[in-house]
Homo-oligomer: A and B are copies of this chain.
Amino acid sequence: MDLLIVGTVAYDAIESPYGKTDKILGGAATYIGLAAAKLGVTSSIVSVVGEDFEKNHLDLLTSNKIAINGIEIIKGGETFFWKGKYHNDMNFRDTLETRLNVLENFSPKIPKENTSPSIVMLGNLSPSVQLEALQQLTPKPKLTVLDTMNFWIENTLNDLLNTIKNVDVLIINDEELRLLTNETKINKGAKKIQEMGPKTVIIKRGEYGSVLFNENETFILPAMLLDKVVDPTGAGDSFAGGFVGYLTKSKDLSFNNLKTALVYATIAASFCVQEFGTEGLTNTSLADFENRLNEFKKLTQY
């Protein structure tokens, strides 16, 4: 199987109780691709950046086996930029600045050689853009996975529902689930999502873990316990990247294998948050990853 990722490639500036950064590499597609790369999975990103996007960042992607021929570079344009601040309770953050820049008119163009991936991961983006990308894929991928956020639920609900109809897996957090379904109990909320289209629903619960719902099966998984969280940016994207990365690698969409993919997702997210930006992922070796997988199994299995 091969993996196509549609999503942002961006610059971020981040403040947290552990320090602050200048402009650093970010973006949903970046984290997804880097997390998948941890599992040795080759992927292609479809995105847009400005002329300011640095060559060494493109090189970082390609050195992680991420094809960049689907990343459009807009001449004279500037890359999407987000600046945010985390407080002691890392569950909350303030957005200090958002410059959409080249993202404002983003119309995804899937390179011809990438229009028939086995798995497509639609990272957090406008749902109409996500759908536009999906419609260029033929034949239908074996698995379509969608991430979204509160902004789209609150501002473009109809577009979102229209896109959700066409995907196999929705990944959202518990607050977004409540916003989208009006249910506080996640098993009830997940059922409502399933009626909207996706057979599989994954609810992220931040530091508490995640829950995977299939038609008749459920799997509850805690998160890794960490001594410190330096920067939660990209945690959800790394989670998604670990999930689709494992499925791409293992070529098996059974429920049992989805469960294992959720474990990989959890471990990818746990590395992401331990350093600023993408460094948590890029500084992780395959051996680190395997060691934590084993440790996590001991921590959670009886």
Contact = CB atoms under 8 A, between A and B. Distances in A.
Number of copies: 2
* Most B C-beta atoms less than 10 A away, residue of A205, A211, A301: A301
A113 interface: no
A211 B260 CA distance: 21
A204 interface: no
A300 B220 contact: yes
Contact of A185 (B184, B227, B299): B227
A302 B185 contact: no
A171 interface: no
Nearest to A89: B184
A218 interface: yes
Contact of A227 (B187, B211, B226): B187
A270 to B, nearest CB: 12
Contacts of A228: 185
B225 A218 contact: yes
A40 to B, nearest CB: 21
Interface residues of A, number: 28
Contacts of A220: 222, 225, 299-300
A210 to B, nearest CB: 10
Interface in A166-188: 184-188
Contacts of A138: none
Contacts of A219: 299-300, 302
Given A205-B208, A208-B209, A185 B226 contact: yes
A149 interface: no
5 contacts: A187-B226, A218-B299, A221-B222, A260-B302, A301-B301
